[in-house]
């Protein structure tokens, strides 16, 4: 068991000082009937051990495609990574050979999805699906693997784990299924956990349980957590840093407190302002006019310019705004970030 882990740790190019996970200038395209859809257009971010990075954005912003690219579960074709790096401890996963890449991903990076029911195989018991991971990747015996499966279900607080291990996925409630999926993701002790809208399909009281569980497991294991979500409440509750995505780019990256106190990009600001708040009761909500761009036809310059109240001529011309360093550990892709910050 330790052998496999040790092997990966000494992959050529491993840099102990590098971030746990680093995505650089990632580009992903999809070929569609309407032309080439540029789903991700130069996304960059990093993640350290024990840290929670929230990737925030609305549907079609490229956040889930980015996650699929990191996990290596992108459908190719029609999808294609055209450019960029995905570095795990300094090693570019996209340059590794197939078998090696799969081994790193299986052992180091895990993912949980929004829809736990379709992510679990309906014809096997959850215990079998968990045990299979240990048998395949750790070479355990049937009995040992089953015991580990029960342990894991216990860790994700499934009541009476020993008796429920032989149940099928449909016999669990939505919240319990999400716990099973978390157990599967954690089985091989990953260092990076990607959670793609993990609580969107759940009720708020169950969401609170699951987010609490995730935070606790992360603390125990010192995992890096990438939380992909559109819910600004959840982000405020758990994230350390935020990367806001729009039309396939990270348009703002900052520690969570800074973003909520003083957003540095007009889109982030507009998003925060469009949440119904107590003091706005009875008034019109602030809205972002218009619609997000079609990915086959992203506007020149800043992709947000047609909807932006700060937009001036430079925003409408290529190249898009660079990632301005607007404060320590903070960037925003807006020419007029000073105005947005209110300086």
Question: By the criterion CB under 8 A, which residues form the site for another protein?
Answer: 58-59, 159, 173-176, 203-209, 211-212, 230-239, 256-257, 260, 270-272, 274-278, 280-281, 284-288, 291-292
Q: Give the shortest CB-141-to-another protein separation in angstroms.
A: 34
Structure tokens, 276: 């119904």
Our CB check for another protein shows the closer of 176 and 183 to be 176
How far apart CA 195 and CA 264 sit, in angstroms, is 25
DSSP state of 307: G
Our CB check for another protein shows the closer of 151 and 231 to be 231
Q: Give the shortest CB-1-to-another protein separation in angstroms.
A: 34
Please state, as a whole number, how many other Cβ atoms lie within 10 Å of the Cβ of residue 142.
Answer: 11
Q: Give the shortest CB-50-to-another protein separation in angstroms.
A: 16
Cα-to-chain-centroid distance, residue 241:
12
Our CB check for another protein shows the closer of 239 and 323 to be 239
How far apart CA 275 and CA 231 sit, in angstroms, is 10
Q: Give the shortest CB-224-to-another protein separation in angstroms.
A: 19
Q: Give the shortest CB-291-to-another protein separation in angstroms.
A: 5
How far apart CA 229 and CA 263 sit, in angstroms, is 18
Q: Give the shortest CB-42-to-another protein separation in angstroms.
A: 22
Q: Give the shortest CB-52-to-another protein separation in angstroms.
A: 12
Q: In 155-286, which ranges are E strands? A: 192-196, 224-229, 241-246, 249-255
How far apart CA 242 and CA 222 sit, in angstroms, is 19
Question: Is residue 193 within 8 Å of 185, Cβ to Cβ?
Answer: yes
Q: Give the shortest CB-20-to-another protein separation in angstroms.
A: 22
Beta bridge partners of 195: 112, 227
Closest CA to 130 of 93, 179, 83: 179
Please state, as a whole number, how many other Cβ atoms lie within 10 Å of the Cβ of residue 58.
Answer: 13
Instruction: Report the alpha-carbon angle 73-74-76, nearest 5.
Output: 125
Q: Could you give the strand order of the β-sheet that contains 192-196, starting from the edge strand earlier in sequence?
A: 109-112, 192-196, 224-229, 52-56, 241-246, 249-255, 330-332, 324-327
3-state helix, strand, coil in the chain (%, to 5): 40, 20, 40
Our CB check for another protein shows the closer of 143 and 278 to be 278
Our CB check for another protein shows the closer of 73 and 280 to be 280
Secondary structure of residue 85 in the 3-state scheme: strand
Q: Give the shortest CB-80-to-another protein separation in angstroms.
A: 24
Closest CA to 1 of 148, 155, 156, 193: 148
Our CB check for another protein shows the closer of 49 and 174 to be 174
């Amino acid at each position: 068991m330790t052998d496999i882990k040790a092997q990966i740790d000494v992959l050529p190019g491993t840099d102990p000082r590098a971030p746990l996970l680093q995505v650089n200038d990632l580009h992903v395209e999809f070929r569609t009937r309407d032309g080439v859809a540029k789903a991700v257009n130069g996304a960059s971010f990093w993640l350290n051990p024990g840290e929670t990075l929230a990737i925030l954005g609305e549907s079609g912003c490229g956040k889930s495609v980015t996650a699929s690219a990191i996990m290596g579960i992108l459908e190719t074709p029609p999808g294609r990574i055209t450019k960029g790096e995905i570095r795990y401890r300094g090693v570019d996963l996209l340059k590794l050979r197939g078998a090696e890449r799969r081994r790193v991903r299986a052992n180091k990076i895990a993912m949980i999805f929004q829809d736990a029911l379709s992510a679990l195989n309906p014809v096997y018991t959850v215990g079998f699906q968990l045990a299979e991971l240990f048998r395949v990747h750790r070479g355990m015996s049937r009995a040992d693997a089953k015991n580990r499966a029960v342990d894991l279900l216990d860790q994700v607080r499934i009541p009476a784990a020993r008796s429920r291990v032989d149940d099928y996925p449909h016999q669990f409630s939505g919240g319990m299924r999400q716990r099973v999926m978390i157990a599967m993701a954690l089985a091989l002790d990953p260092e990076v956990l990607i959670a793609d809208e993990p609580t969107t399909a759940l009720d708020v009281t169950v969401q609170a349980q699951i987010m609490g569980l995730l935070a606790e497991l992360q603390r125990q294991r010192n995992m890096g957590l990438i939380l992909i979500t559109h819910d600004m409440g959840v982000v405020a509750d758990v994230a350390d840093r935020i990367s806001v995505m729009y039309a396939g780019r990270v348009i703002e990256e900052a520690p969570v407190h800074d973003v909520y106190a003083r957003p540095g990009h007009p889109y982030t600001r507009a998003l925060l302002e469009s949440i119904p708040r107590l003091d706005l009761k009875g008034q019109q909500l602030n809205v972002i006019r218009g619609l997000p761009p079609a990915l086959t036809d992203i506007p020149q310059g800043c992709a947000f310019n047609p909807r932006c109240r700060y937009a001036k001529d430079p925003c409408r011309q290529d190249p898009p705004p660079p990632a301005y360093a607007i404060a320590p550990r903070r960037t925003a892709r807006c020419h007029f970030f000073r105005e947005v910050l209110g300086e």
